Chains A and B, each alone.
Chain A
Amino acid sequence: MSKLIVFCEHQNQNLKRSSIELLQFGKSKNFEVVGVVLGAEGQKAAEQATANGASEVLFFNDVKLNGYNPELYLAALEAGIKQSGARHVLAPASSAGKDVFPRLAARLDSSIASDCVALTVEGDTLIAKKPLYAGKAFAQVNLKDSPVQIVLMRANQLPVATAGSANPGAVKIVALPAVDLKAILKEVVKGASEKLDLTEANVIVSGGRGLKEAGNFKMLEDMANVLGATVGASRAVVDSGWVSHSMQVGQTGKTVAPTLYIAVGISGAIQHLAGMTGSKVIVAINNDPNAPIFQKATYGIVGDLFEIVPKLTEEFKKLLHK
């Protein structure tokens, strides 16, 4: 059995869903899955990794890894790969993943397939499906010739089954190698929202210029709270200063792939579609029956969002017993 390393990201001590997807995928393909957990707050996540398919977890239990630092993360991940002898690596296409793994690839004289949406294994080769031109085409990236095969996957692309039981004995504490640090992390400034990031959210409620003014985003927040969703936005409302740029979906914002994307008062300009057509189910609510968003939607409602959104929130409450 080949070894496969999974980068196990955690937040508030819990293993993130994006990493659970990768652990379970590796196990389902009969890899010997090795989890790598970084930071002194990772004990619980390390145990969760063993419950989700990792037969071994390398736990770099070091406070220096509590915040992100590209050079320290690189050193730990490189040590993890060397120590395990793994030639296959999976990681979420997260902020940290997209920052550190390309550099690690170059260090290992390897290529990387990033921002992938599907994954298959042929013999010993990882083959990753990757959207091109904002989802207008796809390619299969074959990593056969890469000394280490590294794939970064978008969140919510792979199924997750119920976890098994944890095996704390499989968690090995590993020391962080010494690094002559150049970049120093000075501070982390928290974002306004404690919700899941758009790139990880399973449900997104997104608003556009049809909302008329900043205060009306409250309606979307109410709906999002019922659904456990994250609120997104079109560029038009970001540029108007109603919401922050971190909420923008699209070509110059975030690429998202939730299970459910609800577009409220968004026309569906090509630059917006570029960021969200990977969503599984798309709902469009717009008073213009000719709005381009309807061409990409699964379900459409032509109507006044100010009437529909509060009613829909009530319906969701009823169905979800909230």
Chain B
Amino acid sequence: MKIFVGIKQVPDTETKIKLLPNAAGVDLTGVKFVVNPYDEFAIEEAVKIKEKNPGTQVFAITLGPKQRVSEVLRTALAMGCDEGVVVNSNSELDNLGVAKALAAAIKTEGGCDLLLLGKLAIDDNGSSVGPMIAELLGAPHISVVSKLELTGTTAKVERDIEGGAKEIFEVPLPCVLTANKGLNMPRYASLPGIMKAKKKVLKEYEAETLAAGVCKSKATAFTLPDDKTAVKMIAGDAGAQAQELARMLRDEAKVL
């Protein structure tokens, strides 16, 4: 079996975000980058499937400025993926652009039986690229998966929806699945894994050649959140605090 794992490099949650002059975008200098947390579940699941099914090959794929984003492929390789594919792109692509470039790279690599991604990327909360690639590859997809059982060429998956409910689907391979928390516990990379991953030669593509001029939307006018007005602390004993808070929520904030 051949599995692809789509991985995005995102700023660490703890990093402070600054804007470029003229609000033309976000200033990424000095930002610490990590593997998108949901993609770690996708990597782990692929490696687990490989361990159970000898002969399985796992390709990790990412898109972005190649020097920087290759880091996430090293992590994926160190966790047990076999090959790394980087689609170099130095311009901001929208979700359709990213999906087209990744789908084209996967097709050029001969396609796959299973494509795993995270349910969303924590930088733009997009949750769009997985289902878009599925459409472009002509494969069915199920998103927000917290359980996966493979039997032959059928996947039985649990998808998390509103209110803690779950939808249980059966879907034939090849298919695209996006991973939710709960699917597994991502492993830490082993030291030998890290050493091996460092030496691995990555396959390279250019987004420009795979999918040129395909973006249909543009992000502009970047802003930072308004400064929150200072918190109003409510003093007194517990009874007085409770009474005053309830009153303020009704009369001042008007939310009751």
Interface residues, chain A, CB within 8 Å of chain B?
67-68, 70-71, 94-96, 98-100, 102-103, 105-107, 109-115, 130-147, 182-197, 199-200, 203, 227, 244-247, 251-253, 255, 259-260, 270-271, 274, 277, 280-281, 283-284, 294-304, 307-308, 311-312, 314-316, 318-320
Contacts and interface: CB of A to CB of B under 8 A. Distances in A.
B88 to A, nearest CB: 21
A284 B222 CA distance: 29
Contacts of A303: 238, 241
Interface in B1-20: 11, 13-17, 19
Contacts of A142: 217-220
Chain A, interface SS category:
mixed
A8 B96 CA distance: 25
B140 interface: yes
A260 B94 CA distance: 33
Nearest to B11: A133
B223 to A, nearest CB: 5
A270 B160 CA distance: 24
Given A194-B163, A315-B242, A141 B219 contact: yes
B241 A137 contact: no
A270 B168 CA distance: 33
Given A131-B125, A301-B241, A141 B169 contact: no
Nearest to A110: B216
B132 interface: yes
Given A103-B141, A135-B225, A298-B231, A115 B125 contact: yes
A319 B256 contact: yes
Interface residues of B, number: 84
A115 B217 contact: no
Given A112-B95, A280-B255, A283-B249, A137 B222 contact: yes
Nearest to A194: B163
B164 interface: yes
B255 A281 contact: yes
Interface string B94-127: 1110010000000000000000000000111111
